[in-house]
Chains A and B, each alone.
Chain A
Amino acid sequence: MVDEAGTMLAELFSALCDPWPDACFLLTHDGVLVEANQAGVRMLGGASHELPGRPITDFVITPAEMVLRHLVVCSRNRQQIPGLLSCRGKDGQEIKYRCFGQRIQRKSDAAPLVFLRCSSFQSAGSKFTTLNQQLEKQQEIQRQLLEERDQLQIEMAERARAEEVTKASHERLLTVLNGLDAIVYVADMKTYELLFVNNFVKEHFGGAVGQLCWKVMQTGQEGPCSFCSNDKLLDGTGNPAGIYCWEFQNTINGRWYDVRDRALQWVDGRIVRLEIASDVTERKQAEEEIKRLNADLEQRVVERTTQLEAANQELEAFCYSVSHDLRAPLRHIDGYVDLMVSRCRADLSEKGLHYLDTIAASACQMGVLIDDLLQFSRTGRAEMVQKSMSMNQALQEALIPLKTPADGRTIEWVIGDLPSVRGDYALLRQVWVNLLDNAVKYTRTREVARIEVSASEDNGKIVFVVADNGVGFDMQYAGKLFGVFQRLHALEDFEGTGIGLATVQRIITRHGGRVWAEAELNRGARFYFTLPK
């Protein structure tokens, strides 16, 4: 057996099996040992060099026939065949081994060998116990781990749900902010760094979180905006001071924005600036247009006013001329007629005297006409001083010269209480003078004249009435009543220039009121005028 092939086999076996903790043997089917590894040598308790060639049965206490029968079975089967072996330990105690044998066929004609691997029952048993204990511990750990895992899974599911809810609401908010047709951003108030921008800012200004607000929103600036509203967003103590609204024209796109800024606490605790700015360019343009139109209009008003003032000045100059130049010849006519009558009376016939009387009367009438016309003109031009005034007083002043008529007539005055009004005292007194003069004049033919003055309220206006029982007039000529130089009666019956009522109308119209009259021929007249309350 000790040949070259045997040596090789021995070396190979040793190399392969020595590191194993199990005892390994190579033996013939009739129990003769061929090789044993180091653990096998220890198991059998011999020396390595004396084992090969000796039957294994010499070293074990297991009955030989049992050992040999196992080896025969092993040598005949392809599978591993389990078996049992017992040896004496150093202290003389029996050590049981479980072993597995396996046929090794070297050459077809040679008898097969058996490879036997043995492991101590006892060590396996104690190992088993240890392993069992470890397993139980691990099972306990595993059970705890499983419990913890279940708990974690529950928590994770909850967290996932919560996150989903948060995410959904976050997305909803983002959708709203990004859907806004307005600039929305949040910036650090010290560094001007953008902390949030909505899509509008991204799309229109290319802005992104992390950039500086003034670099994104403005152009041509070396630093923060000179008009930055930051200092207006905080109160004296550095706390948010509420919303600050303003308008500005963007330097990049030239559009106008209505801006609402406020300071607020950001998620990390610092105070930041929130800006919401909506594009109001169209409105602004409309406003500009309105301003331009207004300026135009104002310009036109100024031009028109200048024209009117010029016309007024001309009119004034005209009136001055009328007042001065037109009166002079009248005075001369009257003067020379008077001189002629007084100095040359002897040369004049009765007829001549009558003609001269008529010339003098005409000159006088024309003087009155001129004076009335001037007064009418002045009521239109005079500056009105409007203040609260007593109509009772104005009326009483107008009544003074009428209370005691020169021709000894009887006049019954019925004067009601009149409310105070807002107006020009002198002009409104003139209204009473003219209306009462008329009433006295046109009741001249009545034995007892009755003149009533009263006031009432109608639709927020005060209506004043002067009613008389005089000769009245035909209503079909009522439209002519208030025209300049319009007269409804013959000059021989009732003197006058036809300017009094025109003056009344002009004054009342300037006060924002209205004048009208009602009458019936020979049944008196009622003159009404209104003034704002």
Chain B
Amino acid sequence: MSDLKPILLAEDNPSDLELTLEALADNNLANRVAVVRDGVEALEYLRCEGEFSQRKRGNPAVAILDIKMPRMDGIEVLRAIRADAALKTIPVVMLTSSREEHDLIRSYELGSNAYVVKPVKFSEFIDAVRHIGVFWAMINELPPDGVPEHER
């Protein structure tokens, strides 16, 4: 099980982060969850830069991105992932509070794999997170890791 790919979770709000982690833990997912607190960190993680330069190479099973984050928002991260030959095959799920149509449309236009609005009711939230985790980390088959890092 050690070769299970991690789940990347980008979430700036500590409460949301805690509740999301609770929800993921509740579902007994074996995958490790890598947490970053904004878009810049997310890209650093993906590109193994900065504080993530020593991390084990390889793309995550899925990147779960909040939209509204400091420095760089989720949609910008999505755009950067899709524009990067080494990252563009990573499944991306937008997990957000925004029901705004234009966020939804832009996300899909930029190549998001899913768009999930965080339900206010916690039981529903746990359900949603479980579905995301189970589907993307366990059911979904991934392509072999993209182009080696020197092409970045």
Contacts and interface: CB of A to CB of B under 8 A. Distances in A.
Contacts of A339: 19, 22, 122
Interface stretch (A7-15, A121-129, A330-338, A448-456): A330-338
Interface of A: 319-320, 323-325, 327-332, 334-339, 363-364, 367, 371, 374
30 contacts: A323-B98, A323-B99, A323-B100, A324-B67, A324-B96, A324-B97, A325-B68, A327-B97, A327-B118, A328-B97, A329-B15, A330-B120, A331-B19, A331-B119, A331-B120, A331-B122, A332-B15, A332-B16, A332-B19, A334-B122, A335-B15, A335-B19, A335-B122, A335-B125, A336-B15, A336-B19, A337-B122, A338-B122, A338-B123, A364-B121
Contact of B98 (A320, A329, A330, A364): A320
Contacts of B123: 338
Contacts of B96: 324
Contacts of A325: 68, 97
A363 B16 CA distance: 16
A363 B124 CA distance: 14
Nearest to A319: B100
B interface SS class? loop
B13 interface: yes
A336 B121 CA distance: 11
Given A338-B123, A363-B120, A367-B120, A331 B98 contact: no
B144 to A, nearest CB: 37
Contacts of A371: 99
B1 to A, nearest CB: 27
B122 A328 contact: no
For B13, B97, B118, B119, the residue with the greatest tally of chain A CB atoms inside 10 Å of its CB is B97
Contacts of A338: 122-123
Contact of A331 (B68, B99, B100, B125): B125
B73 to A, nearest CB: 11
Contacts of B100: 319-320, 323
Nearest to B98: A324
Contacts of A374: 99
A363 B120 CA distance: 8
A335 B98 CA distance: 18
Contacts of B13: 328
A90 B19 CA distance: 183
A interface SS class? helix
Given A328-B97, A331-B122, 12 more contacts: A323-B98, A323-B100, A327-B118, A327-B120, A328-B118, A331-B16, A334-B120, A335-B122, A335-B125, A336-B19, A364-B121, A371-B99
A335 B123 CA distance: 8
The 8 closest A-B pairs by CB, nearest first: A367-B120, A338-B122, A335-B122, A332-B15, A335-B19, A324-B97, A334-B122, A327-B97
Nearest to B67: A324
Nearest to A366: B120
Contacts of B16: 328, 331-332
A364 B121 CA distance: 7
A334 B98 CA distance: 18
Given A338-B123, A364-B121, A323 B97 contact: yes
For A332, A335, A337, A374, the residue with the greatest tally of chain B CB atoms inside 10 Å of its CB is A335
Contacts of B118: 327-328, 331
A410 B125 CA distance: 34
Interface in B94-146: 96-100, 118-123, 125
A10 B16 CA distance: 176
A53 to B, nearest CB: 165
A339 B68 CA distance: 25
Contacts of A334: 120-122
B126 to A, nearest CB: 8
B64 to A, nearest CB: 16
Contacts of A332: 15-16, 19
A189 B47 CA distance: 85
Contacts of A336: 15, 19
B61 to A, nearest CB: 24
B51 to A, nearest CB: 27
Nearest to A382: B101
Contacts of B99: 323, 371, 374
A334 to B, nearest CB: 5
Contacts of A328: 13, 15-16, 97, 118
A335 B20 CA distance: 10
B21 to A, nearest CB: 11
A332 B11 CA distance: 14
A524 B93 CA distance: 48
